[in-house]
Structure 1
Amino acid sequence: MAASNVEKSDYATSADNAVPVASSTGQETSKKPFGFYMSFLSLVIMCLIVSLDATALAIAIPIMAHELHGTTLEAFWASISFILAVVIVQPIFTSISNVLGRIIPLYTSFLIFIVGSIVFAMAKDMSVLILGRVFQGIGAGGLDVLNEIILADITTLKERPMYIGLLSIPIAGGSILGPIIGGLFAQHAGWRWIGWINLPISALGILLVFFFLKLKAIPQSMREKLLRVDWIGIVLFSIGCTLFALPLPWAGAMYPWASWKTIFPLILGAAILVLFGWYESKPQEPMFPRRIFQTRTATMTLIAAALHGVVAYSFILYTPLFFQAVYFESPLKSAVSILPLSCVSVAFSVIAAVAVEMIRKYRFLILGSWVFAAVGAGLLALWDQSSSLAVKASFQVILGIGTGTLFSVLMIPIQACVHVDDMGIAAGILVSFRLFGGLLGLSMCSTVFTNVFEKKILMAGDLLGDLAALKNAHEAIAFIPVLRELKLPSHLLKAVVEAYQKSLVLSS
């Protein structure tokens, strides 16, 4: 990708990908023009807004559900719908950008993300809020995958690790600051600012793209480009993922597990995904090339990525809820309380990458990470109402070491067993599998929470007055802000909090 003031002799373009080439002396052109740095800044902004938007909402969910009179299922769907949209669109944007070029999908992603942020910020009920989150997820999914693709376009293989490292800074910053910003807005300015704050940041990103990101068009007609897109694969993948994910949150909550309304979409979704896997050997530009899955290492790494997603995203959502419901913390204080998990996870994703570079081995790091993740998850189940600050922080550190290391190390074996030309798409597929695991994890955990809370709250005894709302488990999340303000007998308060504690522990 050439910036507007880069001479053609410094860059060569193939399709719409600008690739730095060797100079006449046989050395890589090392001097970067101003336009390159502005283009890279646009990628930094894309990483930042996606990271902020993905992490800020978990803190504000109880307040949003309370203000908009949302049910527990609707509250969880505010997060699930976002992840579902990201899971579906990331491989779609990857496939389309390889055929149509980067610019059209990039502007489309920005536009959809902005529209989603406005819909979210103006929502008057949970249904509209969830719709806004779907649009945000579509836009964020495109921005997230396109920034990695464009980075590969504008850097050489030798210099790429440095710029990937630089892009980890806004991702880390967003992961750490997102919950704090969400807590600040929810507690002081209003949760709607979680949506409004995206507008000026997105506008800056669009301006940088418009003025500095100059890409050459693919030398084909639009008709030829559209014929190369895997449209059938896109439809099968989208329908299959949606049908498979939809019944998981409502199973046992809205409809019994044995109900046809749960079983039918689940089986149909799985069948369509199997059909999609078979079909992907047919198109010219498949979304998921079969050659990526041909080695046992690749297959097992993708399965591990999906399991990692189940663990990581479940704790991201449910840990702040635990601090608010069990320890009566405000949204902002709960955001501060989960900093050990956020900071350690980010730190060890970087430390692990550096360690692999130094020791040139990764197998024992992966095995060790799973041990830390399993031990950390088990220790978090020991939290109760009397847990000390040291216990709460140290257990998060152990979990963060495991989950953070897996974020970076799992990328190495998948890229080590594919052809160099497939490294980019292999990385994208791994991210998709991790997100799909996160989607399944969040969906199943919401069901577990509702079912367990429904049983545990009955053990609290007679629920009268304000507590009567808790007889319906669908009101549990929206009731958390109210719970902090109630003056209740100690035995009754302890019983209610224990219902939240058990439900959140088992669901996360």
Structure 2
Amino acid sequence: MFEQAAPHPPSAKTDEQSEDCTPVRTSSREQGEQPIQTDPIQSQTSTVEVPSGGEGGSKGVEADEDAAKVPLTGAKFTLVMFALLCGVAMASLDGTIVATAIKAVVAELGRQELVPWIGSTYLMSAAITCSLCGKLADLFGRKLVFLLALSLFTLGSAGAGAAQSMSILIGARAVQGLGGGGIFTLAIIIIAEIVPTRKRSIYLGLMTAVFGFSSVIGPLVGGALSDHVSWRWCFLINIPIGLLTIIAVMVFLPFPSPAGTFMQKMAKLDILGALLLSSAIVCFLTPLQLGGSTWEWNSVQVIALFIVSLVQILAFIYVELRVASEPIIPATLFCNSSSPAILGIAIMLGATFFTSLYYMSLFFQITNGDTATQAGVKLIPLMVGFSGASVLTGIFISRTQRYVALFYVGPILAILGGVFMALLTPSSKAYESVLSLGVFGIGTGVLVQVRTFGAQISVPRELLATASAVAQTCNAIGGSVGVAIAGTLFNNVIHAQVASNPVLIEAIRQLEARGVSVDPTSVLAFIRELVVLPDAGLANAELLQVFNHAFKVTYLSLLVYPTLILLLALFVREFPCRVKTDAETVEV
């Protein structure tokens, strides 16, 4: 299937096999296993040219492609991939579907003051399991941990759909997050086990496309279900999909369990490190989620939690370096420049993608008067660009085995799309919106795909699960940080503009005289409240101008993140796909 590879001379830009943590692709023969034949597109034996002695000369050898550990027939492979994609679709859809259902939830359950916790608890519990599932998968097996994640997510969905109070809903969302945080990460890890490195990017691209598609249509689906059925179906819809996915994984994914008893595996688990990391994540994300809304940014709660989080991170680092026999995040993960650079890119990418998605939907609802469902429809160009770019990027990497250049292409396109989006106004033409969203979607789609592949290829095989889990955690944390920073900037601009606008000052005075409490940063609510005033038209026009200015400033500020990605890309090194045989390293 694969063409003969030319000898690859040593190069400053391409890392060869070394003793300093350079990734080594180990063949199944070396591991004492029989080479396994998978789906026809997956694994073949090929004759390749490899450097002999490290300095010159080459010879042909027979080499197995890397990462084909599980014996899957064509039908089984297809069913397992379908199950993985269903799991990813559920988890990513649930991250955004609830946004447009909040109004209906509050109308039935009340307790509006607890609304921020509906999203916060999901995000925090997901971040915790996302950071831990890599090590858990190494100790207890990919299949078992993936089934546990699917079961928790499905159970949490049932609880959320049946919730009779806001407190029960929030608790169910926490259970959902525990499962959802592991689903995407475990799916990535499993793909690395059943697909050879050379073909891995194709399937990662498909998975990334499903993730992007589900994330973007989440508000659209949530709005439609809330308007025409019930908000409960935003959660109940996961139950049949989750059960089918669990059955498919149990039947068709014959992953072997790692050797050792349960107690032996538990003895290897870094419990102290897990507790410190989990607590640090909660203490860091809580003020990011509640700061500026429930709590003031300079409040004691926010400052104290950030300090506690920092202390716990320092303690976690000490435990991992000095105490833990099998650390959750080993120091060897950072022993080449690519891995920490890609983790930094994951943070910046999360900040860029999730923040832009939120404020773009808000733009359509405020400037055009769209419903949440209509705003979701107008985000389709972003979804198409993101999903298409993810798939095509995977094909490109598979055929060329080169990926570092894409770390430059992605942020450049994201910057262009971000500038175009910042320049949108209520009078912008439809094609301008489509173009800006499409370009931004293509840029972020390229980045998500190459980040996922790069995180795996930049580490030795034994660190693949850990690298995937840490990268996903960084992406989630980046999203939280990005939304918090953008929200603070947006609110500050709104406050400053309103405070200097005589028309809006007078409108607020009149509303407060009627007993209406006004928060200028809640622009949608402010617009609805202005309707009762005699000069509502003028005040509404002024408020739209204020919003457009804040929107422009916020989107231009997001350009910092893809710019930093360009700088971090300078530290990413190009690792070829390699297999280590008994005598030498083979490039495939």
TM (norm. structure 2) is 0.73
Displacement of 1:468: 6.1
Shift of 1:196: 1.1
CA distance in 1, matches of 2:453, 2:198: 16
Q: What aligned pairs does 1:238-257 form with structure 2 within 5 A after superposition?
A: 238-257=278-297
Q: Deviations over 1:240-298 (max 9, x none)?
A: 11111212344344444333222111111022112212322342332212111122232
* 8 A Cα contact 1:376 1:396, kept in partner: yes
- Are 2:134 and 1:94 aligned? yes
Q: Contact 1:56 / 1:194 at 8 angstroms: preserved in 2?
A: yes
- CA change 1:506–1:116 in 2 (3 A) is farther
Among 434, 441, 444, which residue is 1:393 paired with? Answer: 434
- Flag the 1:128–1:480 CA change in 2: closer, same or farther, 3 A: farther
2:205 touches 2:394 (CA, 8 Å); kept in 1?
no
Q: Which residue of 2 aligns with 1:292?
A: 333
CA RMSD of aligned residues (A): 3.7
| Structure 1 residue 448, shift from structure 2 partner | 4.0
CA distance in 2, matches of 1:128, 1:178: 22
Could you tell me whether the CA contact under 8 Å between 1:301 and 1:413 is conserved in 2?
yes
Alpha-carbon separation, structure 1, partners of 2:108 and 2:549: 25
Q: Note the residue ranges of structure 1 that are not aligned, 5 or more in a row.
A: 1-10
Correspondences of 1:411-430 after superposition (within 5 Å): 411-430=452-471
The alpha-carbon distance between structure 1 residues 306 and 257, as it changes in their structure 2 partners (threshold 3 A), is same
Residue aligning to 1:7: none
CA distance in 1, matches of 2:381, 2:389: 12
What's the counterpart of residue 539 of structure 2? Answer: 492
2:317 paired with 1:277: yes
Partner residue in 1 for 2:221: 181
Partner of 2:36 in structure 1? Answer: 20
Which residue pairs with 1:472 in the alignment? 519
Question: Partner letter of residue 122 of structure 2?
Answer: F
Deviations 1:131-173 (A, max 9, x none): 3332222111122222223333444445545544554564354
User: For residues 462 and 480 of structure 1, what CA distance do their matches in structure 2 show?
Assistant: 10
Choose the corresponding residue for 1:118, options 146, 158, 162.
158
Q: Check if 1:151 corresponds to 2:191.
A: yes
Q: Does 1:217 align with 2:263?
A: no
Amino acid at match of 2:374: K
Q: 1:300 to 1:35 in 2, by over 3 A?
A: closer
CA contact (8 A) 1:341 1:400 kept: yes
Equivalence for 2:390: 349
Are 1:32 and 2:48 matched, yes or no?
no
**Which residue, 383, 406, 410 being the options, matches 2:451?**
410
The CA distance in 2 between the partners of 1:360 and 1:244, in whole Å, is: 38
Residue 379 (structure 1) shift: 3.1
Structure 1 residues 188, 166: CA separation in 2 closer, same or farther (over 3 Å shift)? same
1:233 maps to a residue whose letter is G
Map residues 56-455 of structure 1 onto 2, 5 A cutoff: 56-61=97-102, 64=105, 75=115, 77-123=117-163, 126-157=166-197, 160-168=200-208, 170-281=210-321, 282-358=323-399, 360-454=401-495
8 Å Cα contact 2:416/2:440 also seen in 1 = yes
Change (3 A) 1:487 1:322: farther
Q: CA deviation at 1:64?
A: 4.5
Please give the secondary structure, in 2, of the residue aligned with 1:378.
helix
Alpha-carbon deviations, 1:296-325, whole Å to 9, x = none?
232222112211111111112222122123
| Deviation string, structure 1 residues 52-108 (Cα, Å, up to 9, x no partner) | 22232344445545665665x855554343333222111212211211223443333
User: Shift of the alpha carbon at 1:239?
Assistant: 0.6
Q: Is the 8 A contact 2:342 2:455 kept in 1?
A: yes
Per-residue deviation at 1:375? 3.2
CA-to-aligned-CA distance 1:383-415 (integer Å, 9 cap, x gap) = 333332222222212222221211112345444
Q: Which has the larger radius of gyration?
A: 2
The amino acid across from 2:539 in the alignment is L
Shift of residue 197 of structure 1?
0.6
Q: In the aligned structure 1, how far is the partner of 2:320 from the partner of 2:438?
A: 41
Moved more, 284-293 or 192-201: 284-293
Whole-Å separation in 2 of the counterparts to 1:115 and 1:308: 30
CA shift for structure 1 position 505: 5.0
Seq. identity, %: 23
After TM superposition, the structure 1 stretch with the greater mean CA deviation from structure 2, 237-246 or 130-139, is 130-139
Which of 60-69 and 264-273 deviates more?
A: 60-69
Larger helix share, 1 or 2:
1
CA distance 1:27–1:238, change in 2 (3 Å):
closer
* 1:229 shift after superposition: 1.0
Amino acid at match of 2:319: Y
Number of equivalent positions: 494
Q: Report the alpha carbon displacement of residue 223 of structure 1 after superposing the two structures with TM.
A: 1.2
The amino acid across from 1:338 in the alignment is L
1:91/1:432 contact within 8 Å kept: yes
Partner secondary structure for residue 462 of structure 1: helix
Amino acid in the other structure paired with 1:333: Q
Q: 1:103 to 1:411 in 2, by over 3 A?
A: closer
SS at structure 1 position matched to 2:507? coil
Query: SS of 1:220's equivalent?
Result: coil
SS at match of 2:231: coil
CA–CA distance in 2 between the matches of 1:39 and 1:201? 14
**CA shift for structure 1 position 477:** 7.4
* Residues 225, 231 of structure 2: 8 Å contact kept: yes
Q: How far off is 1:431 after superposition?
A: 2.1
Report the secondary structure of 1:385's partner residue. coil
The one-letter amino acid paired with 2:303 is I
Distance 1:289 1:259 in 2: 35
The corresponding residue for 1:3 is none
Question: Counterpart of 1:494 in structure 2: which amino acid?
Answer: A
CA 1:447–1:412 in structure 2 vs 1: closer, same or farther (change >3 Å)?
Answer: same
- Which of 462, 467, 477 is 2:507 aligned to? 462
Q: Do the aligned partners of 1:308 and 1:437 also contact (CA within 8 Å) in 2? A: yes
Moved more, 443-452 or 138-147: 443-452
Residue by residue, what CA displacement relative to the aligned partner does 1:184-217 show, whole Å, maximum 9, x if unpaired?
Answer: 2133223221111111111111222333334443
Instruction: Kindly provide the amino acid, as one letter, of the partner of residue 293 in structure 1.
Output: F
Distance across 1 between alignment mates of 2:457 and 2:435: 34
How far off its partner does 1:501 sit? 4.2
Contact 1:51/1:174 (CA < 8 Å) preserved in 2?
yes
